[in-house]
Amino acid sequence: MLVMMKSHATGEEIDAVCRKIEAMGFKAHPIPGSTRTAIGITGNQEPIEAAAIECLPGVGECVPVSKPYKLVGRELKEETTVIDLGDGVRIGGPELAIIAGPCAVENREQARTIAAGVAAAGARLFRGGAYKPRTSPYSFQGLAEDGLKILEDVRREFGLKIVTEAIDVESVDLVERYSDVIQIGARNMQNFSLLKRAGKSRRPVLLKRGISATLDELLMAAEYILSEGNYSVVLCERGIRTFTDHTRNTLDLSVIPAVQRLSHLPIIVDPSHGTGRREKVLPLSRAAIAVGADGLMVEVHHKPEEALSDGYQSIQPPEFRQLMEEIRQIAAVLGRTLAPKSTI
Ligand code: PEP
Ligand code: MN
């Protein structure tokens, strides 16, 4: 059930409703909207008696939730969530969020070279795995904390926000200490203990769609994070497994408007894992922005042929510049913007 507060409800009235919900043994999730606050209720197995809440001051109405997810749905919050990372960097607002960088942090020089290239082109967020979920146990697994320290230096030197993956519950402590956004990868989309741990973090979470996940499964995975009290979740379409063999995955761009209809969470697109081929990254990036995504996550490497992972889908900094110039023009048609090229 959702409690819709009146538009002029005071902070005290909202607190009192939350206390009442907690006293009933449930969890209250107050979510401010542009006109009024809605309070989601979780933890109840049975429907809740609305009368006990509706009589409280400031309450407009109690509405049953028709969907299995309570907190990620637009029923709770009409307007899209904007995640503010500080220094003017936001995900979900009019400015597109562009996350670029290597698949994995390999060494300091590699990370710095790529960071300089993507920052100059206008990216405001840097990606790079320090913990890599690899298909083979013999493949490069990432530099772990040494990699996170390199990312911290990149943040300081280039003013880029850091997005990096936590692959299990144990790695979240370190990842949240060094990063601005915790990435949860496709293979972990239904790692429920990891989702719950990320839900207790104060860092925003980038949740990638599992390779065979339906839209409902993606939204329910996000619901795990919100239900623990972390409302800053960005969804990411990164391709699903189909019978096609001309790409690594099939980028499901039709999921973008579907998510936007059902959920207030922002959604971005990863055309690199989505296609697995560098020559497809630019055309699918154009399409992702045109379809209404809130941003992109793109793998960029200055020497893709030497990359320790995913070199065949990484574009080089000059191609990334071209990509940014093209999507800047597409964004303008849609009333969206891109950060200016930097002069660093
Ligand atoms: C990645 O972003 O490097 C990654 C491993 O992606 P995914 O989880 O989508 O495979
Ligand atoms: Mn990768």
Q: Yes or no: say if 310 and 282 are a contact pair by the CB < 8 Å rule.
A: no
Cα of 25 vs centre of ligand 1, distance in Å, is 38
Q: What percent of the chain has pLDDT over 90?
A: 94
Task: Provide the pairing of β-strand 59-63 with 2-5.
Answer: antiparallel
Ligand 1 within 6 A of 208 CB? yes
Which pLDDT tens digit goes with each residue over 52-102?
999 999 999 999 988 889 999 999 999 999 999 999 999 999 999 999 999
Amino acid at 336: R
Which residues pair with residue 38 across a beta bridge?
4, 31
Q: Whose CA is nearest to atom 9 of ligand 1?
A: 186
Instruction: Retrieve residue 194's tokens.
Output: 């990891």
Q: What is the pTM assigned to this prediction?
A: 0.96
Query: Out of 143-152, 286-295, 332-341, which region has the weakest mean confidence (pLDDT)?
Result: 332-341
Cα of 335 vs centre of ligand 1, distance in Å, is 30
**Nearest atom in ligand 1 to 185's CA:** 8
Ligand 1 within 6 A of 129 CB? yes
Q: What percent of the chain has pLDDT over 70?
A: 99
- What's the confidence (pLDDT) of residue 67? 87
Residue 46 pLDDT > 90, yes or no? no
Residue 9: left if φ>0, alpha if ψ -120 to 50, beta else—which one? Answer: beta
Q: Whose CA is nearest to atom 8 of ligand 1?
A: 185
Task: Provide the pairing of β-strand 27-32 with 125-127.
Answer: unpaired
Q: Whose CA is nearest to atom 6 of ligand 1?
A: 185
Ligand 1 within 6 A of 273 CB? yes
Cα of 61 vs centre of ligand 1, distance in Å, is 42
- Region 10-23 average pLDDT: 96
Ligand 1 within 6 A of 133 CB? yes
Q: Whose CA is nearest to atom 10 of ligand 1?
A: 186
Distance between CA atoms of residues 23 and 301, nearest Å: 53
Average pLDDT of the chain? 96
- Region 31-43 average pLDDT: 93
Q: Whose CA is nearest to atom 3 of ligand 1?
A: 103
Cα of 164 vs centre of ligand 2, distance in Å, is 11
Cα of 50 vs centre of ligand 2, distance in Å, is 48
SS3 string, 8-60, reads CCCHHHHHHHHHHHHHCCCEEEEEECCCCEEEEEECCCCCCCCHHHHCCCCEE
Our mutation pick for probing the ligand 1 site, out of 103, 105, 218, 234, counting the most ligand atoms within 8 A of Cβ, is 103
Distance between CA atoms of residues 176 and 165, nearest Å: 10
Write out the DSSP string of 167-209: -SHHHHHHHHHH-SEEEE-GGGTT-HHHHHHHHT-SS-EEEEP
- What's the confidence (pLDDT) of residue 47? 84
Ion ligand 2, residue ranges at CB < 5 A: 103, 310
Q: How confident is the model at residue 343 (pLDDT cuts 50, 70, 90)?
A: low
Q: Whose CA is nearest to atom 1 of ligand 1?
A: 103
Query: Out of 43-52, 109-118, 160-169, which region has the weakest mean confidence (pLDDT)?
Result: 43-52
Which pLDDT tens digit goes with each residue over 215-269?
999 999 999 999 999 999 999 999 999 999 999 999 999 999 999 999 999 999 9
User: 10 vs 7, 19, 33, 37, 55, CA distance in Å?
Assistant: 9, 14, 14, 10, 15
Which pLDDT tens digit goes with each residue over 185-230?
999 999 999 999 999 999 999 999 999 999 999 999 999 999 999 9
Cα of 11 vs centre of ligand 2, distance in Å, is 45
**Nearest atom in ligand 1 to 310's CA:** 3
**Which ligand has the minimum distance to the alpha carbon of residue 133?**
1
Residue 125 pLDDT > 70, yes or no? yes
Distance between CA atoms of residues 9 and 75, nearest Å: 19
- What's the confidence (pLDDT) of residue 203? 98
